[in-house]
Amino acid sequence: MTRVAYLGPRGTYSEAAALRFAPGAERVPSATVAAAVSAVERGEADVAVCAIENSIEGGVNETIDQLLRPDFPLKIAGEVVLPIRHALVGAAGVDLAAPTLVYSHPQALAQCRRRLAELVPAARPVAALSTAAAIEASVSEPGSLGIGNAFAAELYGARVYADDVGDEPGNETRFVAVAHADHEPTGDDKTSLAFTTQHDRPGSLVEVLLHFSRRGINMTHIESRPTRRQLGTYVFLVDVHGHRDDATLADAVNEVSRVTSWLRVLGSYPRWPGTPDGEPTARA
């Protein structure tokens, strides 16, 4: 049976994504994203499902930092897009004017910043390791609330005080599945890349992007992260249509490798139906 590691405990959005990615798999909860990835590296799990991008807050640094580790041995082997519906929850009998703390994962807190100011203006946001852990804390700690999903609220005996408290409608998170090998070609694939440009040469990023556009390769995502080595230098993360084994994409990657300072193919994998390419996302 396939073993899927995810950010636990039970009831997190990561568990829901793991269930969508591999419905019949054994699910292995982990304390952090790094621990979930480490479980795969040590052979204690076959794949780790980790959040990488949210439609409101953008990239999830915990996962991106793992992918960019110099010694990272794994590949992206799949993706899942999950609708996100945050709820404000806590123990029974809470007066919403009274709570002084609201727990949740930093991403969830950021996605609900405006609504929290309206619903519980006196409550201070406090980071938790996961949304499920936040709900556990809210139930056990008087004067606090948590943000998570309704399933987790039921699981931990919490009451839902407000449903769908995200700042924007249509909130979604993309998760990637990392394993020791990526996926074979399916005919409808994506490939994720990371690279650094020659930052002191004008047009270096444009030169990289032109190698894809001239070959008609569609780019679906681009973002940057500091290299952590020198101010003003960045790692660019790019998703493109196609598999690394496709002749056209392989040729583009080969040319890009000649004009970048560093390049890593993070993996090729089946494109999730309706991922942000202009099509509606498939929903459960």
- 200 DSSP assignment: T
173 labelled catalytic: yes
236 labelled catalytic: no
Task: Spot the catalytic one: 131, 173, 191, 260.
Answer: 173
Name 268's bridge partners.
191
Q: Compute the CA torsion angle 151, 156, 159, 164 (nearest 10 deg).
A: -30
Task: Spot the catalytic one: 21, 175, 195, 236.
Answer: 175
Residue 224 has phi, psi (to 5 degrees) of: -125, 155
Measured from the Cβ of residue 198, the count of other Cβ atoms closer than 10 Å reads 14
Spatial distance between the Cα atoms of 137 and 127, rounded to a whole number of angstroms:
11
Residue 27 has phi, psi (to 5 degrees) of: -100, 135
125, 132 contact by CB (below 8 A): no
Report, as residue numbers or ranges, the catalytic residues: 173, 175
